[in-house]
Amino acid sequence: MTSAVSSGESITLKIDDKDISCRSGETILAVARENNIDIPTLCFMEGLSVWGGCRLCLVEVAGSPKLQAACATVCTEGMNVVTASPRLKEYRKMIVEMLFAERNHVCSVCVSNGHCELQDMAVKLEIDHVRFPYRYPHLQVDNSHDRARMDHNRCILCTRCVRVCAEIEGAHTKDVKGRGVLAAIIHDLDQPWGESETCTSCGKCVNVCPTGALTHRGTAVGEMQKKTDFLPYLTLMRRTES
Amino acid sequence: MKPEELTSMMEKARADMQAFDHHINVCTESGCISLQSDLLLKTLGDEVKHRGLTEKVCVKGVGCMGLCCNGPLVKANTTLYQNVKSEHAPAIVDSLSSQPVQELLCDTQQPFFTRQKLIVRENSGRVDPESLIDCIAHGAYQALLKVLTSMTPQQVIQEIADSGLRGRGGAGFPTGLKWATVAKAPGTRKYVICNGDEGDPGAFMDRSMMEGDPHRVLEGMAIAAYAVGAQQGVIYVRAEYPLAVKRLTKAINMAHRHDLIGHNIFGTKFDFNVEIRLGAGAFVCGEETALIASVEGKRGLPRPRPPYPANSGLFGCPTLINNVETYANIAPIINNGAASFAQIGTEKSKGTKIFALTGKIKNTGLIEVPMGIRLKDIIYDIAGGIPDGRAFKAVQTGGPSGGCIPADMLDITVDYESLTKAGSIMGSGGMIVMDETSNMVDVARFFMEFCMTESCGKCVPCRVGTYEMHELLDRIYEKRGTLDDLQLLKDLCGMVKQTSLCGLGQSAPNPVLSTLRYFEHEYLDLINQAQASEADRNAAAKGESIKLEVLS
């Protein structure tokens, strides 16, 4: 499923008590961001298909008993959306805390320290401690690729790398294995990354990774900075060409 | 097959059946086969052959007769025998023309049988699921014939809507409304899917349906396909049900051979084909969007809804997904009329429901009861109460997505609304009965472990939340928990319920919430014990240190 293409018809809705007009087919997230209303996300990335897994962008829609993921919900006429109620803020905090408890996120020794979306999110949501029991799983670092490194300790399973590899690069080297907390990113048939025959070493996965899970080799603490600008550019260029 | 051929086939099959003086039916479903009823069937057949009675006695394998705990069950004419073994075969054949075998008799007048109302399972235990002729003799495909020759799709949908049938998979969405939505959805290619991915611990209703009367499921699917305008059907069955897969495959092949599915069914322009897809054993694939992904050959992961499968389902086409039991309800509704179906049950929950009774109960097995029956009647009357003189504690309905209902609430009626009000759900029909020896924290922990291992890992609240809840339950049960842990558990329940992507995560906290609602004292007891032993340990440690001080 790709992000909905707007069909042009104009509709009006309310987001956080602000009257907003948009084109039909646009998602709540897109419209909110266009209007400088910030809805936090981790798995969403402009130019990739919608995943809906991080659940940070959940919003309240009047009349709907369930919370809706802003990245996957299309605006409808007269919709009344609340993006930051105390309940939503609390849920978001808990979700990010759970991500910290799930694997071994140690910022002080991480190459992405200071340039990490997970870290930034924790700061933004004012998380000062994690109330859940830590899992401390034993995880591997895949250092077999000659240009990049995969550290499963820092992965949050947002699957941006899987999607960029399959949808933009067209290689589909990466996928997910396992279920629940045992799920993990794999290359080809769960081989070491360096032995993958499909990987083109394009490096797109490294740049879309929100944390220090995917990094260039030879980076030290705090040195890994991701360049994400290529993706909107690529998608735009491909759209105009086709 | 022409319409008149079906009728003549039915009449011929019935005449053939009546030509036998005696009928011996042996249950050949998974439960009884595990007690070697397949061997028993063969021995009985050999015994009849040996005595030269093959012309007079018909021996056949049939579907489940319900009382699984006393299997293998054998019905010789009108006499029901229980716990039958191969060595009893001569005695049973002897008994056909004389007195019944006393020591094997099963009382068919006990409430287990008399209080049931068989509509969906009317032919289960009567027909040979591997014989199309036998199924036709018992009225299979008559409803399809009626629908194709005398009803428009709109009339079929109206009939189903009038009957008040609601989805039997658990959520209870009105079936007529679902069919109407798919029928209205634009598109020339449409699909009907039968959800046979029954994964709840302690549930085996759908398996029994597929093993015991597969043609009824096929017939229901064909009628649904006609109503919504689909030509292709998919039955999604888990690979853990090999017998169901075998019988469904056979049923599809037989129906194909006799043109009951395929091109121009009954000479009309209606085409319908069915294929079977095997699930590799993931609980989440019972969720409709995950099921569709799995059928498409992808990883079985749910996706956000809308779009609903009714508009964009399998390969992006409008798709109707119903549960096995829902499809099995269709033929009787068409045959007997919506009004007769709507008479059964309560205001909002019509018809009957199949339940799988398991746990600490005398009569374990399958029952079909009218909606609106009191839970007490099921537990004490039909199921025969709790064995070994123990006291009833709670019954878990709806499996890991449901909740428990305590003893003082047994007066509630069994229907979608009242079970939801009691903090549980109807679910697909598993009922697990617990007696006083069960600890409810342990029960909650068991179901949470199930959800944790079955979570697909796509969304964070379900993936990590179920792990954390299990960890906290583990702490509390093992007397390491604190009141803070309990509070955190409660917070997590609310959060996981509200924020998870699909039904698995949204309902995973239910067993915890319902045990907390009715049995919070058990949690508190364990925490108090933990604190007491902690205090003891501290006191002991202090004692040690004092002793050391004195020594020094």
* DSSP label of B232: E
Residues of B in contact with A135 (CB under 8 A): 467
For residue B377, what are the contacts with CB-CB under 8 A and spacing of at least 6? B115
Measured CA to CA in angstroms, residue B508 lies from A32, A40, B145, B403, B450 at distances of 31, 25, 43, 10, 9
pLDDT band (50, 70, 90) for residue B370: very high
**CA-to-CA distance for A24 and A78, rounded, in angstroms?**
12
For A205-238, the pLDDT digits (tens) are: 999 999 999 999 989 999 999 988 888 888 888 8
Q: What is the pLDDT of residue B552?
A: 61
DSSP state at residue B374: B
Whether residues A183 and B456 touch (CB distance < 8 A) is answered with yes
- Amino acid A123 reads V
Shortest distance between the Cα of B171 and any Cα of chain A, in A, equals: 15
Chain B residues lying within 8 Å of A72, measured CB to CB? 304
Chain A positions touching B472 (Cβ under 8 A) are: 133
Nearest to A183 among B457, B466, B491 (CB): B457
pLDDT for B551:
66
Beta-bridge partners for A81: A15, A61
Which residue do the tokens 């005696």 mark? B22
Residue A92 pLDDT > 90: yes
Nearest to B465 among A51, A98, A178 (CB): A98
**Minimal Cα distance from B313: which residue of A?**
A1
Q: Within the 257-316 window of chain B, which residues sit less than 8 Å (CB to CB) from chain A?
A: 282, 299, 303-304, 306
Asked if residue B199 lies in contact with residue B240, where contact means CB atoms within 8 angstroms, the answer is no
Interaxial angle between packed helices B153-163 and B175-184, expressed in degrees from 0 to 180 and rounded to the nearest 10: 150
Tell me which of B292, B311, B458, B496 to substitute to probe the interface with A (most A C-beta atoms closer than 10 Å).
B458
Q: B98 to chain A nearest CA, in Å?
A: 59
A181 closest CB neighbour out of B304, B458, B463: B463
Per-residue pLDDT at B360 exceeds 70: yes
Query: Is residue A192 a contact partner of residue A142, using CB atoms and an 8 Å limit?
Result: yes
Mean pLDDT of chain B: 94
Question: Helix, strand or coil for residue B132?
Answer: helix
Residue B491 sits at the chain A interface (C-beta within 8 Å): yes
How far apart, in whole angstroms, are the C-alpha atoms of residue B450 and residue B455? 8
Question: Do A99 and B488 lie within an 8 Å CB cutoff?
Answer: no
Q: Which residue of A has its CA nearest to B455?
A: A180
The ipTM value here is: 0.93
Comparing CB atoms, the residue among B306, B457, B468 nearest residue A98 is B468
In this structure, the strands spanning A58-61 and A68-69 are antiparallel
Residue of B nearest to A91 (CA): B495
Asked whether the beta carbons of B394 and B432 are under 8 A apart, the reply is no
Task: Write down the architecture of domain B19-108 according to CATH.
Answer: 3-Layer(aba) Sandwich (3.40)
Position A3 pLDDT exceeds 90: no
Q: Do B500 and A55 touch (CB under 8 A)?
A: yes
Cβ of A180 and B501 within 8 Å?
Answer: no
Nearest 10 degrees: Cα torsion B398, B402, B406, B411: -60
Return the minimum-mean-pLDDT range out of A113-122, A140-149, A226-235, B79-88.
A226-235
pLDDT at A242 over 80: no
Cα–Cα dist B41/B387, whole Å: 31
The CATH topology of domain B352-433 is Ubiquitin-like (UB roll) (3.10.20)
- Residue B308: band (very low, low, confident or very high) from pLDDT cuts 50, 70, 90: very high
CA distance A70 to B27: 53
Q: What is the pLDDT of residue A236?
A: 81
**Domain map of chain B by residue range?**
19-108, 139-342, 352-433, 441-528
Q: What is the pLDDT averaged over residues B94-119? A: 93
Q: What percent of chain B has pLDDT over 90?
A: 92
Distance in Å, alpha carbon of A218 to nearest chain B alpha carbon:
31
Task: Look at residues A162, A207, A241 and name the one whose alpha carbon lies nearest to residue B298.
Answer: A162
Q: Give the whole-angstrom CA distance, residue B250 versus residue B236.
A: 15
CA distance B117 to B194: 24
Residues of chain A found within 8 Å of residue B282, distances taken between Cβ atoms:
179
Ordered domains of chain A (ranges, CATH)? 10-84 (3.10.20.740), 90-226 (3.30.70.20)
- CA B36 centroid distance within chain: 23
Cβ–Cβ below 8 Å for B303 and A52: yes
Would you state the structure tokens that stand for residue B411, as one six-digit string?
A: 């007066």
- Cβ proximity of B352 and B343 under 8 Å: no
Contacts of B505 in chain A (CB under 8 A): none
Q: Which residues of A touch B468 (CB under 8 A)?
A: 98, 101, 132-133
Amino acid at position A126, single letter? E
Tally of residues, chain A? 242
Could you read off the pLDDT of B170-213 as tens digits, one per residue?
889 999 999 999 999 999 999 999 999 998 888 999 999 999 99
B299 and B290 Cβ atoms separated by less than 8 Å:
no
CA of A94 vs chain B CAs: smallest distance (Å) = 8
What tokens appear for A129 in the block?
């401690």
Q: What is the CATH number of domain B139-342?
A: 3.40.50.11540
Q: Is B484 left (phi over 0), alpha (psi -120 to 50) or beta?
A: alpha
Q: Report the distance separating Cα B426 and Cα B396, nearest Å.
A: 10
Interface mutation target, options A179, A182, A211, chain B, most CBs of B under 10 Å = A179
The answer to whether residue B527 scores a pLDDT higher than 60 is: yes
* B304 contacts A73? CB cut-off 8 A: yes
A191 beta partners:
A187
Chain A CA closest to residue B495: A91
Phi, psi of B230 (to 5 degrees): -105, 155
Q: Is the preceding omega at residue B174 within 30 degrees of 0, hence cis?
A: no
Chain A and chain B share a number of CB contacts under 8 A equal to 97
Q: What are the pLDDT digits (tens) for B139-179?
A: 999 999 999 999 999 999 999 999 999 999 888 999 999 99
Whether residue B3 has pLDDT greater than 70: yes
Distance from CA of B456 to the nearest CA of A (A): 5
Rounded CA-CA distance B39/A214 in Å is: 59
Longest dimension (CA), chain B: 105
pLDDT tier for residue A1 given thresholds of 50, 70 and 90? very low
Which residues of A are less than 8 Å from B458 in CB distance? 51-53
Distance CA B226, CA B228 (A): 6
CA angle centred on B454, ends B452 and B456, rounded to 5°: 100
**Cβ density class B322-338: b for 16+ within 10 Å, e for less:** bbbbbbbbbbbbbeeeb
Residues B105 and B366: their CA atoms lie apart, in Å, by 19
> Which residues are CB-contacts of A75 (< 8 A; sequence separation ≥ 6)?
A11, A13, A22, A24, A26, A27, A28, A31
Question: Nearest residue on chain B to A157, judged by CA atoms?
Answer: B458
Matching CATH number, B441-528, of 1.10.340.30, 1.20.1440.230, 1.10.3720.10, 3.60.21.10: 1.20.1440.230
The Cα B77–Cα B96 span in angstroms is: 8
Distance from CA of A238 to the nearest CA of B (A): 24
* Residue of B229, B248, B122, B241 lying closest to B181 (CA atoms): B229
| pLDDT, tens digit (0-9, with 9 covering 90-100), for A8-40 | 789 999 999 999 999 999 999 999 999 999 999
* Residues B303, A98: C-beta atoms closer than 8 Å: no
Q: What is the mean pLDDT of residues A119-137?
A: 96
Cross-chain CB nearest to A69 (options B304, B456, B471): B304
Mean pLDDT of all residues belonging to chain A: 93
Residue B389, Cα to own-chain centre: how many angstroms? Answer: 29
A55, A74, A129: best to mutate for the B interface, most B CBs within 10 A: A55
- B236's enclosing H/E stretch is strand B232-238
Residues of A within 8 A of B303 (CB-CB) are 1, 52
Instruction: Say which amino acid occupies B306.
Output: P
**Per-residue pLDDT tens digits for B450-475:** 999 999 999 999 999 999 999 999 99
> Would the pLDDT of B426 be above 70?
yes
Q: Does B351 touch chain A (CB under 8 A)?
A: no
* Partners of residue B498 in chain A, C-beta under 8 Å: 66-67, 87, 91
Which uninterrupted H or E stretch holds B394? strand B392-397
CB contact under 8 A, A131 and B453: no
Question: In which band, very low, low, confident or very high, does the pLDDT at A4 lie, cut at 50, 70 and 90?
Answer: very low
Looking at the partner chain, which of B472, B498, B501 has a beta carbon nearest the beta carbon of A52?
B501
Query: Alpha helices, DSSP H only, in chain A?
Result: 28-34, 86-102, 117-124, 160-163, 204-208, 230-241
